[in-house]
Amino acid sequence: MMHSLRKVMFAVCLLALCWYGMMAVHELGHVVGAWATGGTVTGVSLHPLSISRTDVLPNPCPGIVVWLGPIVGCLLPLLLWALGRNWIAGKLFGFFAGFCLIANGAYIAFGSRDGVGDSGEMLRCGVPVWTLIAFGAIAILGGLMIWHRLGSVGHFFAAESTVTSWMVISTIIVLFLLLLTEFMLFAS
């Protein structure tokens, strides 16, 4: 019973960390795009109770700025995984990379249907819908392939010693510190 509770707590905290981490690297991509094209970042919102956003004004190259969000949001976690795959937390880096690929891919592909968020901006910049769907499909498939290589969820929950108390406590602490930081830095 205690093993299962530890695993559920770890999984919930890990998913939350992946969500907030994915939004941070995605917005970092927009910031890099703005700086690289001479735009001025007027605000970044990473408040934990809202969807992340980067405001750029002036934005001389909105197409580059909007594309660098999902591109950096996919490539930076892949780089982190490539550099850290042999560390003790290598599987966590892989899980995060897969999560970011799936989240960014789904955001762009499914956002193209209603023209919302970054997908809406891409469409306004003249990007064909098929490009958004292709990017999304490639990113989602890449994320699923990474997750497949990490092993099955069933095996994770069936194994007795997969998650230690130390792992749960450290994940809770990191999540708490991240949320506290975001609440303090990005108060609405």
pLDDT in tens, 136-182: 999 999 999 999 999 887 777 677 667 888 989 999 999 999 999 98
pTM, two decimal places: 0.93
Name the amino acid, one letter, at 29: G
- Confidence at 1, pLDDT banded by 50, 70, 90: low
Of residues 36, 21, 32, 15, the one with CA closest to residue 172:
15
Burial class (CB in 10 A: 0-12, 13-18, 19+), 162: middle
Domain span at residue 140 reads: 2-171
- What residues does 55 pair with on adjacent strands? 43
Residue-wise pLDDT tens digits, 59-73? 999 999 999 999 999
- How many structural domains does the chain have? 1
| Residue 177 belongs to some domain of the structure | no
| Residue 187 belongs to some domain of the structure | no
| Residue 83 belongs to some domain of the structure | yes
Q: How many whole angstroms separate alpha carbon 180 and alpha carbon 171?
A: 14
The DSSP H or E segment spanning 57 is none
